[in-house]
């Protein structure tokens, strides 16, 4: 192993230690007034209860999944198809099952620890807000960063660890074989992410919608009022969805895309080896190393999260983001220069590494572009949100129509930006002159992989900003509950507004990375299929050919593509409906408490918050099963019925369709949310210039839009991110099943 | 030409004559009370004004389009690529432009005449409803059938006429060349349909939403109240959208799919010729003949539209539909037997024609399946609509969420049904053993073409049922306006409810035919591309290969596919936004009339209906330009930037995405509409068993859903049908432009 690859475990461990340091730092902070502590404890208890039940369920599902995967692979990966013949049958089944379990366990661990810190940071953020804005930002950001660092570090260490273990200890597994053998890790991560995001997404929005409907609409008490038994569930939900859910989502992204990039690196490895370049393995290790440097850049950036009391808190966070990005560009240059050592080969006028450096920069630039696209479409200062607010004047119907139009519109820049990024990084990569023994250029696809890795360098920081969201949201709830001083609430309100933006940005980032990675994961699937078919041909099979094209003009591929496009809608339909059903359980319980505990309304009786949390948890976990099963079963059925080429078409068009629909749901939901906030802030005026604020019909219309957007942007949209990556990992792992 | 092909002009002319007979019959009917005549005249004048302005605009656009197309084709279809070398350059440009103009003119003529009869049938239906339900059904259905027959007959005669003219009079154009030379006809039809559907769809929903908002919401007067100056525009709009718009939509379907099927027939022709089968031309003429028999079957079926006064009117219409379907099956058997004469060749145990007969039956069965799917999702008797109605109890937000979930859900059966139909008809066709000189099976794709043609046999009847919708809707308006007797209004209300169902069914049918045809049109595009490339290779070009696969794994194809998926959303966004802007113009004008003509409210002053109609017309035509341009420009840009293979991917995934989104919008909108009607009919009850009918909060919530659904189901959804077919015809015609 080259010296530079040691940076992987070093950076991974450093990030874990840094996360522990941040966690300690946060925990040592002031917890505020006794009232704050009491509310914080209630939220924490609810969250702990959810985490315990949720991860027990997911753990059991993952165990069952591992056994099934192990059996299936053990049966279908026979000596005829296995890459390492000595591992054919049960051994490869066991290795895959272990990789799956390790992936699942790492994802679960990062989710659990992140939640642990997140639900302890909220009360400390509220306490800090009593004295300082910057202090509160730092507590919330550090609490969020614990999640961010752990997710990325565990994903990095996990992939590196299982790769190194298999490569070192399993006979026959060299660097070229190992990336294929560890794909189970990505599948395990996807599997956990699917249920974490679905369960969390259903929980959070059911609690939100349910408690609002019964509290605000029926009982006529304000949002976040302590008399509403569903309010704690709502506060717990913020952590569950945005911290644990999005964490699992990006854990999966980094893991799966890392492994996919390593698979593509195998082709580059072969070229480097035959060209006699130094350290051909570097092409396979490159994704790990680049991510390690991304982690280091983020650690440095955390020290730049500072500013003045009078500043817009978003600027404070942006400062850190830009430091991460700029350091990442520098690191990208260094790593490509050192690792892509081609003994001085010049291709198209430039050294090989320069082409890939630019491809990586394309990825980093794409993430910046998406951050700004999301802001344009979901922040109140621009045309889309203002348009929705204006439409609210004529009632809820025009609000919804306008929001839908905005949501649909956002696909335009999204598709164009992704298209440009893919074509640019592919072109840059193809200029590097990596041509394999069969005369095919492999540099283009590797260029898209480098771009994806470049984009993922900033994941830890983005995720920290994301978890900043639920922490500040909760801090606001704590301040409200504990009837904190006005200036404290003012600060928590400002942070909450920033948190809304950062949560939206993370979704844009997650979508962009999923799209950019689609092409790479798809190519990895084709590599895997051709590895299997190549082995079959080598071992005497004559009725099969290498997959050189995924032909949409083939009726099976076309129908599979149609089903892929449908899946995004159908899955979303199930997820949205699950929110409705879960919300019903909450409504029934809160109504019961109002009825049977008459002291609640005059504050003489404390509502049974824990019972609502428990009921919501159980309902959410029950309701996540149907969409989860559909997500897992559809690719398998398509593969069994229509074959491996059709699966590729299914995967591609399913990904495109999922990305587009997620864009619509995330941005439409975000825009509705902020149109409501725009009106609440007094920005909407009638023809005579009077402010149309809270308690006007326009505001009521905007509340309808916000409620509609909730399950779109926090349940269905984020679950679609996970779905598209799950499709990629499941087909990658089960490829041997589809080739007959 | 074989004897049987004479059925084409005979059936076409017979259908035109029959339409004239029906029109005369309708016009000779009683026009009711003087009040009815007065209202009817007002609607008619408004519709005439719209038609005049709309078709003048479209005519000018079509002329410009024809000149541009002619120039582009004249420039790019050089001697190097032209199929008929003697026509290379300007001659082929002129022929294409003429075909484009004839297609545009036929589509416009059928739209104009259909509207002419439709707006004269409404008052006569209202008059007939004074004495008899069956009588009213017959007037409305015959009025609708005028449209139905004209659309299909003019499309049939147009394709046949231009085909025969070019084949007979243009030297070098034989039966194998003619289908390629007449593709301009399909593009002309698409071009007109795009603007007719967009303009009509924007007009109808802007008038609906605009007059409701200002009348019901602001002025507090009932829907369809004569004091509302926008009401006549609303009644005009029903004709404009459902009669003219859907007519143009299905004109395009029948024309484009017919030509596409003839292009695929060329491959079968070559096989038949080399096998020495009698009448090889029959494989090219088959689509025309099968459609001609469909027309004859529909003429017969019109005499079965009868029943008893106490019967559900839907049964009366269904009777005719089933007669059409059963006669079509018989005709399909006869035509395949006669035309697919393979001198007794048996393939896979059955005569060749039998395989294609079954493929055609698959098409007919698919249309029946879609009729029932649509009913399930949009009629009040089933789960989906009831679910939305229940969700209305907790307000507009849950109504919208539930309706969205239902809309998304409908993609499931749609995709599965289309998938099965495609695979089944492809498999049946592939059993027929049509293998070309290169050893490729062409029967499979021809099987999907036969299925599409089978499905299109019932188009005239379906379209008659569709136009029945606006006629009965208008009849209800006329009865309301003229304060007709209670029993008359009761009958018109019943017919209106049936009309809602038939309008929804037609959309389902249009979507199904567009999906089934997608594969065929796509294959025709590939045939055209290969014809061009084949000619280039023959004439010495060496740097190009035949297009044997549309490879999604190619980055250009993938990005094009992504743009295709985006286009459906972006185009819908523009269409939905256009409705909002046009509605604003109406609101401003109606408000002005209320303000400046104070006599309106106490009935002493007549509102200026014509001015609102005029303003709506102009606004709708202005607003249709942006989405129209996007639809036309995007495929051209993709083709120029990414090349001909990428265009194929764009076309396929754009079609899939458009079909799925149209399904969501049409069915979601229909379900919202009927959830409102379900509540109005007193079917929703609270927990205590009390009816939650009109004027309850639940009803208000359902009205929001209905209003949201309006632009979805009547503007964006139907415009997407047209979009997907336009993509097919535009790429087919401009293929030479994309090959460089």
Q: What is the DSSP string of A490-522?
A: HHHHHHHHHHHHHHHHHHHHHHHHHHHHHHHHH
Tokens 């979507």, located at residue: B511
How many CB pairs (< 8 A) connect A and B? 237
Query: Cβ(B397)–Cβ(B688) under 8 Å?
Result: no
pLDDT band at A1 (very low <50, low <70, confident <90, very high): low
Highest averaged pLDDT of the listed ranges A79-93, B35-49, B280-294: B280-294
Using CA atoms, how far apart are residues A292 and A693, in angstroms rounded to an integer? 49
User: How does pLDDT run across A371-409, given as a tens digit for each residue?
Assistant: 888 888 887 778 999 999 999 998 899 999 999 999 999
Name the closest residue on chain A to residue B566, using Cα atoms: A411
Task: List helix spans (H) across B539-624.
Answer: 555-596, 609-623
Q: Report helix angle B555-596 to A625-680, nearest 10.
A: 50
Sign of CA dihedral A456, A461, A466, A471: positive
Q: Which of A213, A404, A556 sits opposite B576 (nearest CB)?
A: A404
Residues of chain A with C-beta less than 8 angstroms from the C-beta of B557:
552
B401/A576 Cβ within 8 A: yes
Q: Report helix angle A459-481 to A34-76, nearest 10.
A: 140
Phi, psi of B545 (to 5 degrees): -130, 160
A395/B213 Cβ within 8 A: yes
Query: Cβ(A719)–Cβ(A184) under 8 Å?
Result: no
* Chain B interface test: which of A405, A516, A626, A715 (most B C-beta within 10 Å): A405
**pLDDT value for B648:** 94
Residue A112 has which token pair? Answer: 């659990």
Nearest CA-CA distance, residue B577 and chain A, Å: 6
pLDDT band at B562 (very low <50, low <70, confident <90, very high): very high
pLDDT band at B548 (very low <50, low <70, confident <90, very high): confident
Q: Which of A217, A411, A522 sits opposite B553 (nearest CB)?
A: A522
pTM of the predicted model as reported, rounded to 2 decimal places: 0.94
Of B151, B19, B40, the closest CA to residue B456 belongs to: B151
**pLDDT value for B1:** 53
Name the closest residue on chain A to residue B668, using Cα atoms: A573
Query: Cβ(B737)–Cβ(B636) under 8 Å?
Result: yes
Name the closest residue on chain B to residue A515, using Cα atoms: B562
| Three-state SS at B439 | coil
What is the average pLDDT value for chain B, to the nearest integer?
Answer: 91
Which residues are bridge partners to A351 per DSSP?
A346
Tokens 């017959």, located at residue: B138
- Number of residues that this document lists for chain A: 740
Measured torsion, CA atoms of residues A163, A434, A415, B733, in degrees rounded to the nearest 10:
-140
B562/A418 Cβ within 8 A: yes
DSSP string, A651-710: HHHHHHHHHHHHHHHHHHHHHHHHHHHHHHTT--B-TTS-B--TTSHHHHHHHHHHHHHH
User: How does pLDDT run across B209-252, given as a tens digit for each residue?
Assistant: 888 888 877 777 877 788 888 888 888 888 888 888 888 888 99
Residue A605 has pLDDT above 60, yes or no: yes
Residues of chain A with C-beta less than 8 angstroms from the C-beta of B412:
566, 569-570, 573
Residue A238 has pLDDT above 90, yes or no: no
Of B133, B119, B103, the closest CA to residue B42 belongs to: B119
Using CA atoms, how far apart are residues B170 and B164, in angstroms rounded to an integer? 10
Provide, rounded to the nearest whole percent, the portion of chain B with pLDDT above 70. Answer: 100
- Sequence-ordered list of residues with C-beta below 8 angstroms from that of A617, at least 6 positions apart, any chain: A49, A50, A53, A54, A203
Query: Cβ(A640)–Cβ(A560) under 8 Å?
Result: no
Q: Which of A391, A396, A523 sits opposite B396 (nearest CB)?
A: A396
A649/B562 Cβ within 8 A: no
Query: Cβ(A150)–Cβ(A299) under 8 Å?
Result: no
**pLDDT value for A49:** 87
Using CA atoms, how far apart are residues B518 and B721, in angstroms rounded to an integer? 11
Query: Cβ(B655)–Cβ(B522) under 8 Å?
Result: yes
- Give the 3-state secondary structure of B45-68: HHHHHHHHHHHHHHHHHHHHHHHH
Residue A471 has which token pair? Answer: 């922490």
Q: Which of A398, A445, A562 sits opposite B418 (nearest CB)?
A: A562
Query: Cβ(B488)–Cβ(B505) under 8 Å?
Result: no
Residues of chain B with C-beta less than 8 angstroms from the C-beta of A664:
569
User: How does pLDDT run across A114-171, given as a tens digit for each residue?
Assistant: 888 889 999 999 999 999 999 999 999 999 999 999 999 999 999 999 999 999 999 8
DSSP string, A592-658: HHHHH-GGGTTTSS---HHHHHHHHHHHHHHHTHHHHHHHHHHHHHHHHHHHHHHHHHHHHHHHHHH
B422/A559 Cβ within 8 A: yes
Residues of chain B with C-beta less than 8 angstroms from the C-beta of A712:
404
**pLDDT value for B278:** 86
Report in angstroms the alpha-carbon separations of B158 from B13, B65, B195, B252, B266: 11, 19, 20, 12, 20
Sign of CA dihedral B256, B259, B261, B264: negative
Provide, rounded to the nearest whole percent, the portion of chain A with pLDDT above 70. Answer: 100
Nearest CA-CA distance, residue A135 and chain B, Å: 38
Of A725, A712, A730, A729, the closest CA to residue A662 belongs to: A712
Using CA atoms, how far apart are residues A407 and A395, in angstroms rounded to an integer? 19
ipTM, two decimals: 0.94
**pLDDT value for B430:** 95
- Strand boundaries in A128-227, DSSP class E: none
Residue A178 has pLDDT above 60, yes or no: yes
The upper half-sphere exposure of residue A616, i.e. CA atoms within 13 Å in the direction of its Cβ, equals: 39
Q: Which of A411, A444, A569 sits opposite B411 (nearest CB)?
A: A569
Report chain B's terminal Cα–Cα distance, integer Å: 38
Left (φ > 0), alpha (ψ -120 to 50) or beta: where does A603 sit?
A: left
Query: Cβ(A126)–Cβ(A484) under 8 Å?
Result: yes
A660/B419 Cβ within 8 A: no
When computed from its CA atoms, the radius of gyration of chain A, rounded to whole angstroms, is 25
When computed from its CA atoms, the radius of gyration of chain B, rounded to whole angstroms, is 25
Section A61-81 average pLDDT: 92
Phi, psi of A312 (to 5 degrees): -65, 120
Query: Cβ(B633)–Cβ(B573) under 8 Å?
Result: no
A653/B561 Cβ within 8 A: yes
**pLDDT value for A425:** 96
Using CA atoms, how far apart are residues A186 and A377, in angstroms rounded to an integer? 32
**pLDDT value for B461:** 95
Residue B334 has which token pair? Answer: 């006869």
Phi, psi of A31 (to 5 degrees): -100, 10
**pLDDT value for B104:** 96
- Sequence-ordered list of residues with C-beta below 8 angstroms from that of B341, at least 6 positions apart, any chain: B277, B278, B279, B282, B353
**pLDDT value for B587:** 87
Provide, rounded to the nearest whole percent, the portion of chain A with pLDDT above 90. Answer: 61
Query: Cβ(B140)–Cβ(B125) under 8 Å?
Result: yes
Q: Which of B555, B559, B572 sits opposite A408 (nearest CB)?
A: B572
Other Cβ atoms closer than 10 A to A670 = 33
B656/A562 Cβ within 8 A: yes
Query: Cβ(B453)–Cβ(B258) under 8 Å?
Result: yes
Report in angstroms the alpha-carbon separations of A168 from A106, A162, A183, A291: 21, 10, 17, 22
Burial of A219 per CB tally in 10 Å (0-12, 13-18, 19+): middle
Query: Cβ(A227)–Cβ(A221) under 8 Å?
Result: yes
Which residues are bridge partners to B350 per DSSP?
B347
Residue B336 has pLDDT above 80, yes or no: yes
Residue B609 has which token pair? Answer: 């209906």
Using CA atoms, how far apart are residues B603 and B353, in angstroms rounded to an integer? 68
Query: Cβ(A95)–Cβ(A181) under 8 Å?
Result: yes
B656/A653 Cβ within 8 A: yes
Which residues are bridge partners to A551 per DSSP?
B551
Residue A224 has pLDDT above 80, yes or no: no
Other Cβ atoms closer than 10 A to B634 = 21
A576/B398 Cβ within 8 A: no
Residue B396 has which token pair? Answer: 């507009």
Left (φ > 0), alpha (ψ -120 to 50) or beta: where does A273 sit?
A: alpha
Of A431, A426, A433, A434, the closest CA to residue A269 belongs to: A434
Using CA atoms, how far apart are residues A214 and A555, in angstroms rounded to an integer? 50
Phi, psi of A346 (to 5 degrees): -110, 130
Among B304-308, B515-519, B692-696, B705-709, the least confident range:
B515-519
Nearest CA-CA distance, residue B664 and chain A, Å: 9
B397/A653 Cβ within 8 A: no
Section B667-696 average pLDDT: 90
- Number of residues that this document lists for chain B: 740
Nearest CA-CA distance, residue B401 and chain A, Å: 6
Task: List helix spans (H) across A303-395.
Answer: 313-339, 352-378, 383-391
């Amino acid at each position: 192993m080259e010296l530079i690859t040691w940076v992987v475990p070093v950076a991974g461990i450093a990030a874990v230690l840094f996360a522990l340091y941040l966690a300690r730092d946060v925990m040592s902070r002031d917890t505020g007034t006794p009232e704050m502590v009491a509310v914080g404890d209630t939220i924490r208890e609810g969250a702990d209860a959810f985490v315990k039940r949720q991860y027990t369920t997911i753990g059991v599902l993952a165990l069952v999944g591992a056994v099934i995967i192990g059996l299936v692979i053990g049966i279908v990966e026979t000596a005829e198809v296995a890459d390492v013949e000595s591992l054919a049958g049960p051994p490869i089944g066991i290795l895959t099952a272990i990789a799956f379990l390790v992936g699942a366990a790492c994802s679960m661990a990062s989710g659990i620890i992140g939640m642990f810190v997140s639900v302890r940071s909220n009360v400390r953020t509220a306490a800090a807000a009593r004295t300082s804005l910057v202090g509160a930002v730092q507590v919330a950001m550090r609490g969020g960063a614990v999640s961010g660092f752990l997710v990325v570090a565990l994903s990095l260490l996990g992939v590196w660890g299982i790769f190194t273990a298999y490569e070192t200890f399993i006979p026959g597994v060299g660097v070229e074989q190992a990336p294929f053998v560890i794909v189970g890790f990505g599948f395990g991560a996807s599997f956990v992410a699917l249920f974490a995001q679905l369960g969390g997404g259903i929980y959070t929005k059911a609690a939100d919608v349910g408690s609002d409907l019964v509290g605000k609409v029926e009982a006529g008490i304000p949002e976040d009022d302590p008399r509403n038994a569903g309010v704690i569930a709502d506060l717990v939900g913020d952590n569950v969805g945005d911290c644990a859910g999005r964490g699992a989502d990006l854990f999966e992204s980094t893991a799966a895309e890392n492994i996919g990039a390593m698979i593509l690196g195998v082709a580059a490895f072969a070229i480097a080896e035959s060209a006699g370049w130094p350290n051909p393995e570097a092409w396979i290790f490159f994704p790990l190393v680049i991510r390690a440097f991304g982690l280091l850049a983020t650690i440095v950036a955390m020290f730049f999260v500072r500013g003045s009391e009078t500043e817009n808190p978003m600027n404070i966070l942006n400062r850190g983001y830009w430091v991460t990005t700029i350091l990442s560009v520098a690191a990208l240059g260094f790593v490509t220069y050192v690792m892509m050592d081609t003994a001085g080969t010049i291709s198209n006028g430039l050294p090989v590494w320069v082409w890939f450096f630019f491809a990586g920069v394309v990825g980093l630039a794409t993430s910046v572009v998406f951050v700004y696209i999301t802001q344009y479409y979901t922040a109140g200062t621009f045309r889309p949100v203002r348009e929705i607010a204006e439409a609210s004047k004529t009632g809820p119907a025009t609000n919804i129509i306008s929001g839908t139009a905005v949501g649909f519109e956002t696909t335009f820049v999204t598709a164009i930006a992704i298209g440009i990024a893919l074509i640019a990084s592919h072109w840059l990569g193809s200029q590097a002159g990596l041509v394999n023994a069969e005369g095919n250029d492999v540099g283009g696809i590797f260029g898209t992989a480098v771009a994806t890795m470049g984009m993922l360098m900033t994941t830890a920081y983005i995720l920290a900003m994301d978890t900043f969201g639920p922490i500040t949201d909760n801090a606001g709830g704590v301040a409200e509950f504990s009837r904190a001083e006005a200036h404290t609430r003012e600060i928590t309100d400002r942070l909450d507004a920033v948190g809304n933006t950062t949560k939206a940005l993370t979704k844009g980032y997650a979508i962009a990375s999923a799209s950019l990675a689609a092409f790479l994961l798809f190519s990895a699937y084709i590599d895997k299929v051709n590895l299997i078919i190549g082995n079959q041909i080598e071992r005497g099979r004559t009725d099969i050919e290498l997959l050189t094209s995924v032909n949409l003009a083939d009726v099976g591929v076309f129908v599979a593509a149609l089903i892929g496009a449908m899946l995004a809608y159908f899955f979303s339909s199930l997820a949205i409906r699950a929110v409705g059903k879960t919300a019903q359980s909450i409504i029934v319980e809160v109504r019961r408490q109002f009825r049977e505990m008459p002291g609640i309304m005059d504050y003489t009786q404390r509502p049974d918050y824990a019972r609502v949390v428990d009921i919501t948890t159980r309902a959410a976990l029950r309701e996540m099963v149907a969409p989860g099963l559909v997500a897992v079963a559809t690719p398998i059925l398509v593969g069994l019925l229509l074959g491996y080429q059709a699966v590729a078409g299914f995967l591609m068009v399913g990904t495109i369709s999922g990305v587009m629909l997620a864009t619509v749901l995330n941005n439409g939901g975000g825009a509705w949310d902020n149109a409501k906030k725009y009106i609440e802030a007094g920005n909407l005026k009638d023809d005579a210039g009077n402010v149309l604020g809270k308690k006007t019909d326009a505001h009521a219309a905007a509340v309808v839009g916000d409620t509609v957007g909730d399950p779109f942007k926090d349940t269905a949209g984020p679950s679609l991110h996970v779905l598209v990556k799950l499709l990629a990992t499941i087909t990658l792992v089960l490829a041997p099943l589809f080739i007959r």
